[in-house]
A and B are shown apart, each in its own frame.
Chain A
């Protein structure tokens, strides 16, 4: 799904939807290439979204009416800009909250294990 020079794909599998929705929430409207570049830029190349993963997701989000598109012509070719719909904004908030909560829970779990380990040593 991803090319991740730093992280294994298993580690961040399932977060692509949230990453894309969050980017569109922050940036208004974006096109495919722009999304891949923005992710690379923000993560210092640690996460790179492949086109093979991005476009199926964008089309699925459009089909589920979370995204709407605007087409602009650049010479002969079309450029599709994606933006969140009203429903997409709610989905985005839900997904981001869910991920944040998951990360907090994971942190608690990791800290708890650390505490147990220390306890055993002491």
Chain B
């Protein structure tokens, strides 16, 4: 069994760095692993550098950097798992508060307004940022991300508008109308385009687009613009 010198360990470290491994913990693991292989498998007569380059391909398919990519991906998956769990809790809590608010409102019980504000506040302040981060990190196309982001924004605008309406706060109509207008004029065309381009079942994409547009128009028809905006 050979024993490696400090210079040889430094050489391995430089090689690992030059192959794109930048995470210190991963570097330390790979250095130790390569050193242990060399110490156990290299004979006294072998040339250190030649032996090192001969064992290097054991660590990858195309290049060494793929270990780091895989490590980062797995760690992120772990983080996303926690984020998805947190998002589920936030949305569940928000739903419970909103439903409670509706029940209290119907029966004229006190606390309805507080439930509405808390329910919407939680989803806007905690749920929306979490959702955006998860959407951003999804391995999907840019256009798909855009469609998802816009859909989320529309729902956010409309639900905040609804809250303002229930609470008789100003700007409620503007917020609700912005959500619906964005939905009809930007989201639906973009969704339609994205579905036609990527979805193999084009008929379903067209049907969904039509239903989304119909929903937007129906919501829009609920407004009396003459009264609410003074037109």
Contact = CB atoms under 8 A, between A and B. Distances in A.
Interface string B14-56: 0000000001011011111101110000000000000000000
Contacts of B66: 52
Interface string A40-83: 00000000001111011111100110000001001111111000
Interface residues of B, number: 30
Contacts of B201: none
Contacts of A50: 58-59
A52 B10 CA distance: 22
Contact of A60 (B59, B61, B67, B77): B77
A55 B79 CA distance: 18
A51 B32 contact: no
A33 B78 contact: no
Contact of A56 (B9, B35, B61, B71): B71
Interface string A76-105: 111110000000000000000000000000
Interface of A: 31-33, 50-53, 55-60, 63-64, 71, 74-80
23 contacts: A32-B33, A33-B32, A51-B33, A51-B58, A51-B67, A52-B61, A55-B26, A55-B29, A55-B33, A56-B70, A56-B71, A56-B74, A57-B74, A60-B75, A60-B77, A60-B78, A63-B75, A71-B28, A74-B32, A75-B4, A77-B32, A80-B28, A80-B29
